[in-house]
Structure 1
């Protein structure tokens, strides 16, 4: 297709144009704040629609504060799921220990909401104020002193004051700006599988249950109308597999979990119906910097904390909120704003990443018999804390 040039939005109404790559929690939240700050916002998403599905999102602490400032906290509360309990099980389905839900350990508000519901709330907050283009991605970008020139995958071009990569763990924006490969990927030593099935007979609603043996974990999340089936296993190194071969990925799970007890046989019976599931390595994104010139990363693209943290959605919303505060304080000076955003948020990100890589792994994925025995001792003593 012949290349064409999109007239910079600033030429139309004087607002500086900003591009957000990724219609995710990070992307939609960033778009919301950029519009509030006076930018003319375009959001592009490589998929044909919002990327739906996945496990519910925990909303607590600073995330509630930011959603309140966005005027969305009441909408989240209205769609919040009932409080959830968490049980550790043995092979005979006996409960070894349990953790309640509804508040965090200090008694503060805490909610769980279906991922799709939160996406819809965020989309509704920006649908009338940002241009959202699905099926579009960035092919090339050139960061200059006054603007970023972007060439899209369909050959069209645009010029933007700022560009934000909010496109997830495998971020295309990160690759284009900071380099290809796994240089920023910290492999945590395992793989995870998740599938949502329309069954309600595996466990009670509003309950999570986990069963662990050395190096392997099976987990269930129960709801009124569905169940999340999760598997995880540890490895010493990364394994070779074709990310497009869903049958191969299912075989990997069967190879790891066939023959285990508890509810694992029934779980395995439910994962072969179709290819609608998530399978990936367990990793974090650790970067020395989240910005370069006029381009900055938000959420998993810059600082994925891993599914074990249970905090990815909240971290994306927090990141967008912190970025907006910095841009407002340093109006017209994106370099100073990006420095403040990173300097302020990085200690919190690193704390969450470290907790996931240590306590999260040892609690959910005990590597060997000794680590499992210590985990079980903590459960019996009531010392487990998420």
Structure 2
């Protein structure tokens, strides 16, 4: 990804119009990179504004390098959260095992930042340089030789050189170009609930606690002014529910966790009566190819690694950086650029997906008593490689 300098931008040729779907981490970072390469970027988002909420994001490794090249790493570090202690708990609240870095400042090799803070940093980096259209989505895509005709949901048609889908796990771009349904969805055998509430007093700040029974997991993330409450449970197959029926989803959580001990009763009380939460199956997106013609996918739209990987935000930024670098390397050949982008990133994505589906699922939500006992043994021995 080219560095953030306005003088550089003035020397670059006009590479044509690009439409990016989704004002996510992937979409904003991709908009930044392509704008710096000389593309005229339009970023559309189906929501009326940035999609806020969610748990903090881990920033490490290649993601830090990309943010440095974007000139944003100092802003990220300034908003980084203190170091965090992670503990696995028993029903009596004794600690099975823990890990974490001591100290009050962010590590030089890994940062944690509130999702909304990172979203604002990325948005501010592109807001004055690209066209932003909120409340807009695509209804049609038709490739025509040297470009793509895009139809928006208000009937407007635009001719662009490239389309980049950064619109998440349930990507509209993916549906339009590659087909709908669940053909690319890999169900990992469970469901996850998350709600951010004001500080509950259930645990200290800068601490994560996890309690597990066979097939079920309860998680608390403590911060100075808020608490993340998470529940995960396993199922042998997908369950039928109405994604619009929040009362039904609350009921599912009550049925799964209502009789558990530890801090679970207080957690359930803290989320009761509030419909502003996240509930979805634990899944990944696994595709044989991330591009078709002049359309390419970045982040969860093409290769969601699941919440258990803990790298969703980083993977989005890495994908955006890799795509920009590929288009910089092959400025006149999008097919070669897309192939270079995928060939370089796919091995890393598949490694993370496999680890999340096996070790991650087993550690966070053991399937049965035997698996729980084995994971508890590893935790007590400090052997928590995942």
TM-score normalised by length of structure 1: 0.95
Q: 1:363 corresponds to which residue? A: 363
Give CA-to-partner distance per residue, 1:306-361, whole Å, 9 cap, x none. Answer: 00000000000000000111100001100000000000000000000011001100
Cα distance in 2 for partners of 1:108, 1:337 equals 32
Cα distance in 1 for partners of 2:346, 2:208 equals 31
Q: 1:279 corresponds to which residue? A: 279
- Which runs of no fewer than 5 residues in structure 1 stay unpaired? 1-12
8 Å contact from structure 2 (residues 14, 38) kept in 1: no
TM-superposed CA distance for 1:380, in Å, is: 1.1
Q: 1:74 corresponds to which residue? A: 74
TM-superposed CA distance for 1:102, in Å, is: 7.2
8 Å contact from structure 1 (residues 200, 224) kept in 2: no
8 Å contact from structure 2 (residues 63, 314) kept in 1: yes
Q: 1:339 corresponds to which residue? A: 339
Q: 2:180 corresponds to which residue? A: 180
8 Å contact from structure 2 (residues 199, 223) kept in 1: no
- Superposition map of 1:94-105 within 5 A: 94-101=94-101
Q: 2:8 corresponds to which residue? A: none
Structure 1 stretch 203-212 or stretch 136-145: which is displaced more?
A: 136-145
Cα distance in 2 for partners of 1:245, 1:24 equals 25
Q: 2:254 corresponds to which residue? A: 254
Q: 1:6 corresponds to which residue? A: none
SS at match of 2:275: coil
Cα distance in 1 for partners of 2:108, 2:305 equals 22
Q: How many residues align?
A: 371
SS at match of 1:233: strand
Give CA-to-partner distance per residue, 1:27-63, whole Å, 9 cap, x none. Answer: 0000000001000000000000000000000000000
TM-superposed CA distance for 1:200, in Å, is: 3.5
TM-superposed CA distance for 1:145, in Å, is: 1.8
Q: 2:216 corresponds to which residue? A: 216
Cα distance in 1 for partners of 2:112, 2:219 equals 17
Q: 1:144 corresponds to which residue? A: 144
Cα distance in 2 for partners of 1:150, 1:293 equals 14
TM-superposed CA distance for 1:385, in Å, is: 2.2
SS at match of 2:271: coil
Q: 2:7 corresponds to which residue? A: none
TM-superposed CA distance for 1:274, in Å, is: 1.4
Q: 2:44 corresponds to which residue? A: 44
- Which runs of no fewer than 5 residues in structure 2 stay unpaired? 1-12
TM-superposed CA distance for 1:108, in Å, is: 6.1
The answer to whether the aligner puts 1:245 opposite 2:245 as a matched pair is: yes
Residues 102 and 154 of structure 1: CA distance in aligned 2, closer, same or farther (over 3 Å): farther
- The 4+ residue runs of structure 1 with deviation greater than 6 A are none
Cα distance in 1 for partners of 2:217, 2:153 equals 40
Cα distance in 1 for partners of 2:156, 2:191 equals 38
TM-superposed CA distance for 1:14, in Å, is: 4.7
- Superposition map of 1:1-386 within 5 A: 14-101=14-101, 109-386=109-386
Cα distance in 2 for partners of 1:175, 1:144 equals 19
Cα distance in 1 for partners of 2:296, 2:268 equals 41
8 Å contact from structure 1 (residues 214, 366) kept in 2: yes
TM-superposed CA distance for 1:143, in Å, is: 1.5
Cα distance in 2 for partners of 1:14, 1:61 equals 32
TM-superposed CA distance for 1:272, in Å, is: 1.5
TM-superposed CA distance for 1:273, in Å, is: 2.9
Cα distance in 2 for partners of 1:281, 1:287 equals 18
Q: CA RMSD in A?
A: 1.2
TM-score normalised by length of structure 2: 0.95
8 Å contact from structure 2 (residues 26, 317) kept in 1: yes
8 Å contact from structure 2 (residues 290, 297) kept in 1: yes
Q: 1:7 corresponds to which residue? A: none
8 Å contact from structure 2 (residues 20, 166) kept in 1: yes
8 Å contact from structure 2 (residues 26, 298) kept in 1: yes
8 Å contact from structure 2 (residues 32, 125) kept in 1: yes
TM-superposed CA distance for 1:199, in Å, is: 2.2
